[in-house]
Each structure stands twice: as C-alpha cells, then as structure tokens.
Amino acid sequence: MSKVFESTMINGMDLNNRFVRSATWEGMATDDGSCTPKLIETMVRLAEGGVGLIITGHAYVTREGQAGPWQLGIYDDRLLNGLHQMTDAVHGAGGKIVAQLAHSGVFADPALTGSNPIGPSAIRGVSKHEIREMTSSDIEHVKSDFSRAAKRAMLAGFDGVQLHAAHGYLLSQFLSPYFNQRKDGYGGPIEGRVRIVLEVLEGIRSQVGDAYPVLIKINTRDFIEGGQELDDAVTAAAELAGNGLDAVELSGGTGLSGKLNPVRTGIREESDEAYFRDAAVAFRERRTLR
C-alpha cells in the first residue's frame, strides 16, 4: 500500500492518511472576510471525500494584509462564530482542518485595505502602488497580528495553523533577497531574513502553547532572478524546525515568476507532476520534513 494512505501524526494531531488539501483562494467569504455556508459546504465535502488534512484558504490576519475580494478573514474576534461553524462541520464529517494565516505584504490591495502596501523594502516594479518599507513598529504589529490570529484559530476549533511563507506573501517577502533589501537585523543573509518568521513562530507559541500544531508553507525557490533559492529555503526551514515548527509544506514561485508561478498549468504527463520532488529530497536530508 502506498505510504500516502498510511496514518500519521503532527504534534498530537492524528491524520487518517497523508493526503493534504493545500490552501487555495476559494473566493467564498463575505466582503469583510466572514465565513459563509457555501465555504463551509466546500470544506465539508473535502472531509467527506476522505482527505487526511484540510488547510483553509489564506486567511488574512489584519485588514492591511488582505490580498483580494471574498478572502477568508481571521483578523477580528467577531469572525469567530463563523469559523467555529466551519470547524464543527468539518469535525462532524470526520475531518481535520488547519487555518492558513496570511499577510499579503506588497501585494495587498489598497482598494480593499484603504492604505498603501507595506513590505520589508520599498522596492519598485512589483506593484502599481507605492510600497512603504516596514518600520520596527510595523514589524511588531505584524508579529502581534499573527499571534492573535493563531489564538483565534485555536478558539475557533481549528486543529492547527499554517503560516503562509510562500508565493511572495509577506513572510515569503522577508525570506527573499529580491523583496528584502533591508540593512538591519531583518535583512542580509538568510539568518537575518528568517528572523521575523522565527519571531512570529515564537509569538504564536506564546499564545497556543507547545502542544498545538504549527505548520508552514514555504517557497523552495522564488523562480525570479535574485529571489530565494533552495539552499536558503532549507536553512530557514531547519532553523524553524529547531524552534518549535511541526511540519513544512513545500511550494514555489510568486506572482512575478511567469510560467513557474504558484498556479501550474499544462500538467499532462507524470513527469510534469511532483515538481518539488528534488527540493523535497534536499529538505529531507536536513531533517526539516516529517
């Protein structure tokens, strides 16, 4: 029997198999990010189909981090009721569900957020809007936003959380030398660029404890000139794994990566599948993956 059908455990979270529904943008939330019956139904159908773990669509942890319309939100306590309805329904169908926590950084939509995007550096050419480089105060606010969102996820009954550090979102931007050109302790070599992610993880652990599953989705490569490469991605994941991270999901690409963006099309042969397989081997050798 293939190993993907075997049960497994992530920090106490029992999974019936190793099939994971990766996070997507469903576009089924309300304008303010509230959960809807249609979104709940979608999650329940996944659970009924037998997938071992469901990861929600990227849920924004603060209004200034919203990427697009009808995106799920987890930025305010008033959203808890709808989120709890989602987890109750999924658990009733025998499933497990993790909330993906996200901030879109330089790719935030000012038409939705009401402010210009923020990012590790005020780089040009990635947005039609002026990007503001984050101050130390901004960084502290973002860390707090993530930790409070993780606490909400736990209160809402989610089985764990996943940090979205892929696809050019804010945490991914800090990891990438293309987006992160800072000269302070949050920039430079990978040891500096991973710092905010480590501090976000530390803040989350302070809110949810050590027995609550915390995962991450990370780019193996950005597939853009001057972007994050595999060696740095492995180093970052190893550092996180040594500081309380429970599992890593591999991905790659950004909205600037052309054909190698996160949404791959034209998959017609087996050789086109599993396009992060070689990267997974490198992660496994450093014992960063379960």
Q: Which residues are catalytic?
A: 169
Q: Please list the alpha-helical segments (H only) found in the chain.
A: 37-48, 80-92, 110-113, 136-155, 170-175, 190-193, 195-208, 230-241, 277-285
Domains defined along the chain, listed by start:
3-285 (3.20.20.70)
pTM (global) more than 0.85? yes
Q: Is the pLDDT of residue 11 over 80?
A: yes
What is the maximum span of the chain, computed from C-alpha positions, in angstroms?
Answer: 53
Query: What is the model's pLDDT at position 265?
Result: 78
Residue 112 to residue 123: CA distance in whole angstroms: 21
State mean pLDDT over 112-131: 91
Neighbours of 121 (CB within 10 A): 21
Q: Is the pLDDT of residue 184 over 60?
A: yes
Contacts of 209 (CB under 8 A, 6+ apart): none
Contacts of 41 (CB under 8 A, 6+ apart): none
Phi, psi of 190 (to 5 degrees): -60, -30
Q: Secondary structure of 131-199 in the HEC alphabet?
A: CEECCHHHHHHHHHHHHHHHHHHHHCCCCEEEEEECCCCHHHHHHCCCCCCCCCCCCCCHHHHCHHHHH
Query: What is the model's pLDDT at position 71?
Result: 98
Exposure string over 254-271, b if 16+ CB within 10 A, otherwise e: bbbbeeebbeeeeeeeee
The 10s digit of each residue's pLDDT in 128-176 is 889 999 999 999 999 999 999 999 999 999 999 999 999 999 999 999 9
Query: What is the model's pLDDT at position 136?
Result: 98
Share of the chain above pLDDT 90, in %: 86
